[in-house]
Chain A
Amino acid sequence: MEIALQPGFAPPTTARPELRVTEPAPSFQQIVDAHYQGLHRFALSMCRRADVAEDLVQQTFLQWARKGHTLRDRTKVKTWLFTTLYREWLGQARREVRHPEVEFEPDLHGVEEPAEDEPEPRVDSATLQEALERLDPGHRAPLVLFYLKELSYREIADTLGVPVGTVMSRLSRAKDRLRSILRSLQDDNAPSNLLSLPRP
């Protein structure tokens, strides 16, 4: 048996559908230019490691280069890319020990809505990333997509493969949980607490 590496000799498995759009299909470069920054921000917020984030984005566009032509609805390119990246991340995260293969059910975890007179917590980039890391993946993914403003909540539901109502309730709970974590991080870093730390 020979090694079959000659590219281009694999016939399409299904007939190519007739395209109804008159505009030319966007080129690979156009799709990269339109989406790579948003995808990288999503990846980085999910994994917090620059090298892993870049790999996730590369794997996503590699998948697009291989399979993007099978997408019939050109308006779904962005959702397709974010879905692919999310699945790549899930696959990686499940291989890591710190993310056991357990489906998180956020709706079982109650979150109290903050009182109106409570002061808003401080938000900076480093603290936010730490707070996002403390969120369960089932909360973090919709929340990150929401804050990136790339997708509507309906598109977030498509991307994560969950019902629209579930995305809305998870977003609401995740925001309250995020606020609570940010506040607790702020309290931990308060001068009074820092001064009470034991000296080495």
Chain B
Amino acid sequence: MTHEEARLELDATTLRPQDLSEEARTLLEQDAALAAWTDRRRSFDERVAGAMPEEVPAGLRERLLVLDAGSRHRTVWKRTPWFAAAAAVLLLGGLLVRPGPGPETSWQDEAMVVVRQLEHGRTRLTERAGSLEALRGYLDARHSPSPGRMPGRMDQTRTFGCKLIQAGGHPATIICFQLEDGREAHLVIIENAGPRGRPPEEPKLTALDGWNLAAWSDGPVSYLLATTADAAALKRLLGLG
């Protein structure tokens, strides 16, 4: 080990001397000038380390712990062979009766985890804006998935803002709308999710776990609209009722 290599290693371990190699430690013991230089570096490093941010937001731990809900189904899979077998049969059945490509749950599942957090105020918006037009400007400037032609009354509906996320390995945007009865609707926008994850071109409505959902695609862009408001409110928003 050269003197310069020893200095680099010593400098990289001033705050964690346990990481120092035996060779560098030996050099340090034999070279008083090197030891003095290391002491000066450590003194500065300790003062900087002491000024690093310490505070963690109140409630962050609790907000993180709820994220495990998104993976709970995986735990069930791991621990319950019967559940896994039944799920496999259902999946196979779905593949057989479904024309075309099979389901791709990844981006929708991941986006819904964040949608639930937004609905319950457990995560914050990336940008706040009161209109879809303003959000389009924000998203286009950042080359983030942006809403194209919107059906029904969506262009006129007041927004809270948007959140930029990753879903299924793709950048995605969630836009939060303010509905008439004080409830919210959340629009997930994702580009190039692949043919397996692409919904039909016309909005397809369904209900699941207390959510009313609509999914559709427009070219390479896929949309998922989710709300806990009733199905009639969802249809009004989409111009279907």
Please list the residues of chain A having a beta carbon within 8 angstroms of any beta carbon in chain B.
Answer: 1-12, 16, 28-29, 32-33, 36-37, 40-41, 44-45, 50-52, 54-55, 57-59, 61-62, 65-66, 68-69, 88, 91-92, 95-97, 116, 120, 123-125, 127-129, 144, 146-149, 152-154, 165, 167-169, 171-172, 175, 178-179
Q: List 21 A-B contacts (CB under 8 A).
A: A1-B200, A7-B105, A8-B73, A8-B87, A12-B77, A28-B68, A36-B61, A41-B54, A41-B56, A45-B52, A54-B63, A55-B124, A58-B63, A65-B70, A69-B71, A69-B78, A125-B52, A144-B52, A153-B19, A167-B12, A169-B8
| Stretch of B139-147, B179-187, B228-236 at the chain-chain interface | B139-147
List 9 extra interface pairs beyond A57-B60, A66-B110, A175-B44, CB under 8 A.
A4-B105, A5-B208, A8-B87, A9-B103, A54-B123, A66-B74, A88-B166, A146-B15, A147-B48
Partner of A95, one of B7, B90, B164: B164
Report the separation of the CA atoms of residues A1 and B205 in the bound assembly, to the nearest whole angstrom. 11
A1, B108: Cβ atoms closer than 8 Å = no
List 3 tightest A-B contacts by C-beta distance, closest first.
A8-B73, A4-B103, A7-B73
Q: Which residues of B from 81 to 138 have beta carbons under 8 Å from A?
A: 83-84, 87-88, 90-91, 98, 100, 103-106, 108-110, 112-114, 117, 123-124, 126
Establish whether residues B44 and A179, one from each chain, have CB atoms under 8 Å apart when the complex forms.
yes
Nearest-neighbour CB distance to chain A for B187, whole angstroms, equals: 14
User: What is the 8 Å Cβ interface bit string for chain B, positions 55-71, against chain A (1 contact, 0 not)?
Assistant: 01100110111011011
A154 touches B19 (CB 8 A): yes
| Contact across chains for B61 and A33 when beta carbons are under 8 A apart | yes
A149 near B15 with CB under 8 A, answer: yes
- In the complex, the chain A residue whose C-beta lies closest to that of B122 is A58
Asked whether A168 and B103 contact (CB < 8 A) given A3-B206, A96-B142, the answer is no
When distances are taken between beta carbons in the complex, the residues of chain B under 8 Å from A28 are: 65, 67-68, 71
Please determine whether A11 and B124 come into contact, CB atoms closer than 8 angstroms. no
Q: Chain A at the B interface: mostly helix, strand, loop or mixed?
A: helix
| Residues of chain B with a CB closer than 8 A to A92's CB | 164
B219 within 8 A of A: no
Q: Mark B140-169, 1 if CB is under 8 A from A, else 0.
A: 011110000000000000000001111000
Given A36-B56, A36-B61, A96-B142, verify A168-B8 contact (CB < 8 Å): yes
B216–chain A nearest beta-carbon distance, Å: 10
Q: Which of B9-39 contact A (CB under 8 A)?
A: 9, 11-13, 15-16, 19
**CB-based contact A57/B64 at 8 Å:** yes
Chain A hits for B47, CB < 8 A = 120, 123
Inside 8 A of A10's CB, which chain B residues have their CB? 91, 105-106
Partner of A62, one of B106, B113, B199: B113
Q: Which of A41, A45, A52, A58 has the most CB of B within 10 A?
A: A58
Q: How far is the CA of A124 from the CA of B76 in the complex (A)?
A: 49
Q: A101–B121 Cα gap in the complex (Å)?
A: 32
